[in-house]
Amino acid sequence: MSEALCVRGLSKSFGRPVIAGLDLSIAPGEFYALLGPNGAGKTTTLRMIAGLMRPDAGSVSVFGRDVLANPLGAKAIMAWLPDEPLLYDRLSPMEYLEFVAGLWRVEPALAKSRAEELLETLGLWAHRFERCEGFSRGMKQKTVLAGALIHEPRFLLLDEPFTGLDAASARLVKEILQARAQAGAAVILTTHILDVAERLATRIGIISGGRLLAEGDLAALQRQAGVAHGSLEDVFLQLTAA
Amino acid sequence: MFKPAGFPWLFLNEARVLWRGSILVRTHKYVLAPVIIVGLMFQGIALALAAQIVRHPLPLGQMVLVADLNLFFFFWLMLSRAMTAAIDVLYGRGDVDFLLASPIPPGRVLAVRMLGVAGSVAAPWVLLGGVLANALAVFGQAWALAIYPMLLAEAVVVAALAFALVVLLVGWTGPKLARRAGHMLALVMGVFIFALGQAPRFLPPAALGHFWLALLPAGDAPGLQYVFAKGLLGQPWPLAFSLVFSGTVFLFAWVMLDARFASGTITAAAYRPGGSAARQGGAFRAGPFAAVLMKNLRLLTRFPGVVTQTVYRSLTLVPVVMILTGRLRTGSGVEIVAPLLVFLTGQLALFFISVMVGSDESPELAASAPVAPGFLRRAALVAAGYATLVLMALPVTGVLARDGVLLPSLLLGMAGVLVSNLALGLRLPIPLVRADFGKAQTGTVLGLILGVGVSSVWSLAVWLLVTPRALWWLLPG
């Protein structure tokens, strides 16, 4: 079976290099956390993988589909959740999900039943016909997450997905994402909450200055950082301080 | 320059925010140059006008009536603008909570906002009336300069009233309907003022004479009801009374609102969920195009200014009809209606496509979806075109019922102006009153000017098509 994500030699410059020759591989069913300090290039990396930004050099393929040569084919199996919720304030969650399902060509009856299920699971059922303009940040985040899941993507790109979520919602979202990964989907997320990365991710990558500094599970990262028995926070600080 | 957190410092900050948010600065960086040129032209015209006024002075009674009418119309036009401005500074700008959390006394914040709104609504009228006042002062009529304090005093009263009205309306109906009420007030007053100016064309002189005579004050206008008019005419005691009255009204409104503003009750009234289950329970649309089209139409119909802007574009035709039917002999009845409908089609198409462009809050969502890049533009064009044609269907049916021969020319013109202005609006969307609360304004005045021009050209073409003899009227000699 092909890799879920294969990134080779990815580079991007905005006057100065932001991503410099990045290589990443993620297997199907894997939960990958991409960590890094502010301005490390995490969001830029995810945007290039999502086909929203063209790299200066390098290649990206998702489940064997070349993002640069066949962007529509790759996007069809991906979901991108940005750090700011992409919502329409004057649509209700139900209308928003109808719109997103339409964009991904989900069969209407199936889309509707999935929408209802997601809204119920995420605790938005009572608000399904209210316009999103009055929603809290967490409710908006959950609505957008429902949108990201409605077409059952095989590859999920999540940029700070837990921002604004209360403890119960955050746990729920973690369970949903883990269930997707167990079902064979690949997940890559960025987060500044290192505990979340430590508990959720099967593999962690740490980038800084657009370069991958270290990669692997916690034990591997401890070895690479030379911090025996240290927490992920110790490892992260050790690696990014250099 | 001023002590931080003091009243002048806060007012300066408010003035800066209002100035940077004004349509002039927001729409184009070079727009000030033509505004200054037009201002100078106005000053020249005002000098010529002042010379005539000085040469043919009116009796005091008539002067009082003119002053009264001006104050009356200024009041209503300022009030409508002040209502929308009050909604913006209380609910739209989103910084009230931030300021309430600061150690600045809430009452000071409210007073500054009220005065800022007063200044912003007075500014255009002060500038417009000021050119005539300056010109009259040049000819030795210094009393005319009283327009400056009088208009500012009137604006202060208007702002106080607008804040009170807005707080009441928002608490009752929500900010969107309150804003719509403000817009509607401006529309109705605009058309009323124009219709009044056109009255001599449509009313018998005797009836009109009786009307004005009934309004004319007797003698040198005794009575308190003329005090503001006399203030505008520069009489010292009425002027002083007007200023004190204005300050009292302002203080009264400020005292009434202060406690509610400080407790956050006023801003909290805007938080209410919109939407209802009644029209959302149906099946999902099949396919990306239907889903995007439906989304576009929903956003269009829920755009805050859609009703007032559509009504406004329709009502602007009332003055045009009045001018044309009053003056032209080259066409009448339904022949005049056809080019006007073409013009309206163009204006609505331009407005709707601008809403589509301006209200797409999440373009990256669609960019991350498996749809071709041009797909969204096509969906926006179709939605705007569809909405325009739905609105125009009724008047077109009316034309068909009255004179079916005009229909081919009308449809040709409508199709032409629709395609032209949709394409134009996609590139150069017009400035919108506000995309939404808390959202940045989009668009350019250039698109507005070009759109009116394109609509006019198509309208003229259809007019010549349905009334070929109009060409002779247009040609000189």
CB-based contact A130 B274, cutoff 8 Å: yes
Percentage of chain B beyond pLDDT 90 is 32
Domain assignment present for residue B280? The answer is: no
Say yes or no to pLDDT of B330 above 50: no
pLDDT of B302: 84
pLDDT of B79: 92
Residues B251 and B299 in one domain: no
Domain assignment present for residue B276? The answer is: no
A129 contact B CB<8A: yes
Largest Cα–Cα separation, chain A: 54
B288 contact A CB<8A: yes
- Provide the domain count of chain B: 2
Q: What are the structural domains of chain A?
A: 1-77+155-160+188-242 (3.40.50.300)
Lowest mean pLDDT, pick from A79-93, B12-26, B68-82, B180-194:
B12-26
Region A109-122 average pLDDT: 94
Domain assignment present for residue B239? The answer is: yes
* Closest C-alpha among B134, B61, B288 to residue A75: B288
Going from the C-alpha of A103 to that of each of A38, A88, B359, the distances in angstroms are 32, 15, 18
Say yes or no to pLDDT of A9 above 80: yes
| Sign of the CA dihedral running B80, B86, B88, B91 | negative
Phi, psi (rounded to 5 degrees) for A6 = -135, 110
Domain assignment present for residue B279? The answer is: no
Residues B154 and B246 in one domain: yes
A93-103 and A108-121 helices cross at what angle (nearest 10)?
140
Domain assignment present for residue B27? The answer is: yes
Residues B303 and B249 in one domain: no
* Closest C-alpha among B54, B53, B62, B57 to residue B219: B62
Say yes or no to pLDDT of B371 above 60: yes
Residues B250 and B380 in one domain: no
Residues B253 and B401 in one domain: no
A131 contact B CB<8A: yes
Lowest mean pLDDT, pick from A104-113, A216-225, B265-274, B302-311:
B265-274
CB-based contact B302 A105, cutoff 8 Å: no
Chains A and B form CB pairs within 8 A to the count of: 117
Residues B432 and B311 in one domain: yes
CA B476, B340, B309 angle in degrees (round to 5)?
Answer: 130
- In chain A, which residues have their Cβ closer than 8 Å to the Cβ of B298? 90-91, 95
pLDDT of B221: 65
Residues B296, B383 contacting (CB under 8 angstroms): yes
Residues B368 and B255 in one domain: no
Residues B110 and B240 in one domain: yes
pLDDT of A74: 93
* Domain with B329 in it: 286-472
* Closest C-alpha among A199, A182, A131, A140 to residue A164: A140
Domain assignment present for residue B437? The answer is: yes
* Residue in B277, B299, B369 closest to A88 by CB: B299
3-state secondary structure of A135: coil
Residues 6 or more apart whose Cβ sits within 8 Å of residue B126: B147, B148, B151, B152
Domain assignment present for residue B13? The answer is: yes
- Structure confidence by residue, pLDDT tens digits, A135-179: 888 999 999 999 999 999 999 999 999 888 888 889 999 999 999
Residues B310 and B389 in one domain: yes
- Structure confidence by residue, pLDDT tens digits, A37-94: 998 999 999 999 998 889 999 999 999 999 999 999 999 999 999 888 878 888 899 9
CB-based contact A129 B302, cutoff 8 Å: no
Domain assignment present for residue B278? The answer is: no
B174 contact A CB<8A: no
Residues B253 and B358 in one domain: no
Residues B89 and B219 in one domain: yes
- Structure confidence by residue, pLDDT tens digits, B399-423: 888 778 888 999 999 999 999 999 9
* Terminal CA-CA length for chain B: 62
Residue A64, phi-psi category: left (phi > 0), alpha (psi -120 to 50), beta (remainder) = left
B222 contact A CB<8A: no
Report d(CA A84, CA A93) in Å as an integer. 16
* Residue in B271, B361, B364 closest to A89 by CB: B361
A76 contact B CB<8A: yes
CB-based contact B275 A92, cutoff 8 Å: yes
